[in-house]
Structure 1
């Protein structure tokens, strides 16, 4: 039951992100400096959305002789298109957030990753372009387009909670930021 609640909450966050995107608002960036990460995935998400839309039309043509199946697949396919748009929207409206006053860096991705890293736990921050690799114990890769551009090494672990509620402690966090150099510089200034 708890897993179902978490999944429903995730879907609601996605739909809220879509609504915020349509009115050009961001979520949870008051009092901090936002760093986007969606630029590198826009073309891919548009491509996936286009393929989903084509599939919706194709299924409508294939199932026109079976009205009940046609209705079911039309609803599912249309919802699939909405979810693809909402995932991209959540990346745009939920940027990474450096809150120097609050002493934390929020690393986010879509509507399911929101990791708060206290600034005092950051041992080093560097710009480092890496392609995604196998998951290692104590490390978290929050990639976009299978790459990360910033690496944080922590003095003590922070707890990452997955979409389904599993907890794991991480000491190294790699993530993507469109302006990785600016983010690393801002982190250096905030930690002084």
Structure 2
């Protein structure tokens, strides 16, 4: 008998596994979905959140030590709390690891935009009508728009000719016509994306 998990549960399980598997790529200094010599360019986005994530991890470590001391006379409770605290630290560091190892990837025919283990969306270059360098530090949730902000900041905006679909963490389908994302080198991303879009236009002309 096949056991089929509800979509939200399956999404959470995939998310947790993706985060944990990112440690192996991180240690090996490899990036998911990127191979040498395939004509792809990689654009990272995790640098701006690194200090915050490591700060959270350090605070959790301090909390773990403090609770271990306070709960030393209740070993059963101490073991449960210790497990939860250690897992929290692992997941926080893992969120940074998965962001580093799953960057945006610009290929000859598509742009793969990502945000950690939450979003992985391929956008055909033929579907991009406009790309611009646009710094935003506040975002309003709007139908048809996808904001891949890092520290509440996006630096590149894409407008699409036709909606692309993505499945959210909890299994809901979202149709997207505007994508805002952050890149550590936004000017280079915009420049390279426009260049490849022009090449595509030339190729499809009769």
Q: What TM-score does the superposition give when structure 2 sets the normalisation length? A: 0.90
Q: Does 1:59 align with 2:59?
A: no
Q: 1:59 deviation in Å?
A: 1.2
In 1, the alpha carbon distance for the partners of 2:150 and 2:180 equals 11
Tell me what 2:105 maps to: 97
In 2, the alpha carbon distance for the partners of 1:23 and 1:55 equals 30
Cα RMSD over matched residues? 0.9
Q: 1:132 deviation in Å?
A: 2.7
Tell me what 2:201 maps to: none
In 1, the alpha carbon distance for the partners of 2:143 and 2:83 equals 41
Mark the structure with the bigger radius of gyration.
2
Tell me what 1:177 maps to: 183
- Aligned with 1:12 (options 6, 9, 17): 17
In 2, the alpha carbon distance for the partners of 1:9 and 1:55 equals 28
Unaligned runs of 5+ in 2: 199-206
Q: 1:25 deviation in Å?
A: 1.1
Q: Deviations over 1:102-136 (max 9, x none)?
A: x1101001112101111011000001000132201
Q: What TM-score does the superposition give when structure 1 sets the normalisation length? A: 0.96
Unaligned runs of 5+ in 1: none
4+ runs deviating over 3 angstroms: none
Tell me what 2:116 maps to: 110
Indicate if the aligned counterparts of 1:132 and 1:141 stay in contact, CA closer than 8 A. no
